[in-house]
Amino acid sequence: MYAFSREQNVVELGGVLFGGQPGQNPTVLFGTLFYGKQWASLGKGSLENAKSLVEAQDAVGDELGIPGIVDIYVKDEGMLKKEIDLVADSTEKPFSIDISASELRIKALQYLDEAGLLGRVIYNSINLGITEDEVLALKEHAPAAAILLAYNPKDTSVDGRIEILQTGAGMIALGEKNMGLMELSERVGVKNLIIDTGATPFGQQSAETLRAIPVMKNEFGLPVGCAIHNTLESWVWMKKNPGRGEIYGYCDSAVNALVPLMSGDFIVYGPIDSHEIVFPSIAFVDKLMAEGAADYFGAEIGENHPYKKLE
Amino acid sequence: MIPCNVIGSYPPVLDKSKYADAYLSGGMRDPSGEMIRNAVNSQLEAGIDIISDGQTRADFISLFARNFKGVLMQRRPVVVSEIEYKNPVTVEDQEFVRKIIPKETMLKGIITGPYTLAKYSENRFYNGTEELAYAYAEGLNNEARALDGVVDFIQVDEPEYSIDYPEYAGGLLDTVFKGVSKIRMLHSCGDVSHVFEDMVELNVDVLEHEFAANPELLNTVKRIDFKQKLGYGCLRSDKDRVEPVDEVKTIVRRALDVYPPGKILLNPDCGLRNLPPRVAFQKLRNMVEARNSL
């Protein structure tokens, strides 16, 4: 079990706490919504299904004392407003926007500002694909928090992942000046920063995804987590296994539980549909970690934590 | 004409937006092929005669250390049990390079030297540095033999020699090169003036050293007879400043005042990995232009 001598900054957003010493606060779970072919068109049925998934995640989170965040995946500009509106109306919690293309991230920021929702938004993510236009958009429409994605395709070691945060590894510049994601985010004025270690598949130093968590917490004192589910998703054996459905669920539950064990503060755990299998395993680990932190370090644990909330 | 050579490493260059998009869309890609291709194309475009794969995959220590059984790759390699060579480390990359370069282009394989690996390692198993270095050398011999059928030159990098030259250096190199038929190179950067007299006794064909950062080294080297060719470092690899062609020519002329053109190869002082890509390219380009105009 880890404890850090460096002070750990806790980010508070809409009543959800990210970070702190291991065991202190529950792990925050991001469930991704609208990822995959089934969301290709958003008819009435799909929207009702999406709403029920958001509510179900909130319900299981409230029951177990594990905060759930909806991670809104947007692929198509035509869906942008509809997706954001649905989530914003279905939950009172903060939510994240998860968008691959920089141009679409800019449009999302503009809309979120227009809709008065920036104060609830976790921007997922500021990453090596950031453009000058996106920097300007972030300055103009600053989200409440942002995830910095420490994926460095040049070097997937822990050092390489830290390099993208600190120096940009020669791939990130503002004007003529090279800089890391950390400095860039501070310059655009995003106040609350959260670090995603950038999960990599087997063969690309996948274990460094988890090893980076305590190293980065110690280095930066910020909340750190990852989407280790992506490593599972890319596992060739699993893809080829004919009985994948059921087995996959067991693995997903176990794989996500590795993150709090490694002192992680949040997990992007995969499709929100998996909330039923992921939340209980995380509640178990969180309760275990909190008991350790309380017994060993005398940590004071909040009433709503699974440690106190669950028998 | 004097061949233009590189020491090996080159700045890794990627189309970052392609990798960011792929990553965020759930299709993580292995960037190694693109980084190697970019390094190779830059060297070819600069006019280099003896190119490398660019060593873009990782730094020169972890690249080899993590491929040995018995070595844990932590902040530095930690040797915890008997060292055993697992799989070829660079052969697949060199085969890839061979496929994408013109037939007449010469290719260099690069191996991090056993003494340097031993000195960078935390040794928890062997009785002293010498025993550990020989264990690495035996393992690296597998890599050298595997490269022998793919490349035209095999270079061993021993930067540690300029700091701490072991009396068993010859034995280590003979172990690494055992059974190898290709041209043998030894690169050692830093100031080797105090050990150059010993190094000329080594069983290698080319000695590559830094003369741009250490111009005084030539005064030592020229007083000593040696059978090997001299890899003459004529570009700083530790400075972002691009040396103008005339400056490179001046540096090269110093060597040509002492040696016939057939005795030397031109190269940067060391690997260029830590330079901005455009700087690395322009330095190589100026070296070739300087050579062409001499």
Question: Between A176 and B225, where is the model more confident?
Answer: B225
Cβ-Cβ contacts under 8 Å, B9 against chain A = none
Find the CB nearest B23 among A151, A172, A233.
A151
Task: Say what percent of chain B tops pLDDT 70.
Answer: 100
**pLDDT value at residue B18:** 82
Nearest-CA distance B125 → chain A (Å)? 25
Q: Is A200 close to B28, i.e. CB distance below 8 A?
A: yes
**pLDDT value at residue B39:** 97
Cβ-Cβ contacts under 8 Å, A171 against chain B = 14, 16
What is the value of ipTM here, to two decimals? 0.81
Find the CB nearest B31 among A127, A153, A203.
A153
Q: Is B29 close to A153, i.e. CB distance below 8 A?
A: yes
Give me the tens of pLDDT residue by residue for chain A, a chain 311 residues long.
Answer: 789 999 999 999 999 999 999 999 999 999 999 998 778 777 777 889 999 999 999 999 999 999 999 999 999 999 999 999 999 999 999 999 999 999 999 999 999 999 999 999 999 999 999 999 999 999 999 999 999 999 999 889 999 999 999 999 888 988 878 899 999 999 999 999 999 999 999 988 999 999 999 999 999 999 999 999 999 999 999 888 867 778 889 999 999 999 999 999 999 999 999 999 999 999 999 999 999 999 988 888 989 999 999 99
The answer to whether B62 faces chain A, any CB pair under 8 Å, is yes
* Nearest of A9, A43, A13, A8 to residue A28 by alpha carbon: A13
What mean pLDDT is predicted for residues B173-182? 98
Are B19 and B29 contacting, i.e. CB atoms less than 8 angstroms apart?
yes
Which H or E element spans position B267? strand B264-268
Q: Is A129 close to B16, i.e. CB distance below 8 A?
A: yes
Strand A192-196 to B50-51 pairing = unpaired
Cβ-Cβ contacts under 8 Å, B56 against chain A = 154
In chain B, whose CA is at the least distance from the CA of A160? B58
Taking CA A152 as the corner, what is the angle to CA A146 and CA A157, rounded to the nearest 5 degrees? 115
Cβ-Cβ contacts under 8 Å, B74 against chain A = none
Could you tell me the pLDDT band of residue B238, with boundaries at 50, 70 and 90?
very high
Cβ-Cβ contacts under 8 Å, B26 against chain A = 35, 230, 233
Cβ-Cβ contacts under 8 Å, A198 against chain B = 23
Cβ-Cβ contacts under 8 Å, A100 against chain B = 20-21, 24-25
Are A138 and A190 contacting, i.e. CB atoms less than 8 angstroms apart?
yes
Q: Is A155 close to B58, i.e. CB distance below 8 A?
A: yes
Q: Give the residue from A171, A208, A218, A231 with the most B CB atoms within 10 Å of its CB, the best one to mutate.
A: A171
**pLDDT value at residue B75:** 78
Are A20 and A8 contacting, i.e. CB atoms less than 8 angstroms apart?
yes
Could you tell me the pLDDT band of residue B138, with boundaries at 50, 70 and 90?
very high
Nearest-CA distance B17 → chain A (Å)? 5
Q: What is the pTM of this model?
A: 0.81
Cβ-Cβ contacts under 8 Å, A227 against chain B = none
For B158, the token pair is 């021993």
* Nearest of B178, B15, B150 to residue B91 by alpha carbon: B150
The answer to whether B58 faces chain A, any CB pair under 8 Å, is yes
Q: Is B16 close to A171, i.e. CB distance below 8 A?
A: yes
- Alpha helix stretches (DSSP H) within B161-244: 169-177, 196-199, 217-221
Are A232 and A263 contacting, i.e. CB atoms less than 8 angstroms apart?
no
Computed over every residue of chain B, the mean pLDDT equals 95
Residue type, A64: L
Nearest-CA distance A34 → chain B (Å)? 13
Backbone angles phi, psi at A214, to 5 degrees: -65, -35
Backbone angles phi, psi at B123, to 5 degrees: -95, 110
What mean pLDDT is predicted for residues B133-153? 98
Distance CA A145, CA A107 (A): 17
For residue B16, pLDDT over 90 is answered with no
The answer to whether B33 faces chain A, any CB pair under 8 Å, is no
Backbone angles phi, psi at B85, to 5 degrees: -70, 125
Burial class (CB in 10 A: 0-12, 13-18, 19+), B260: exposed
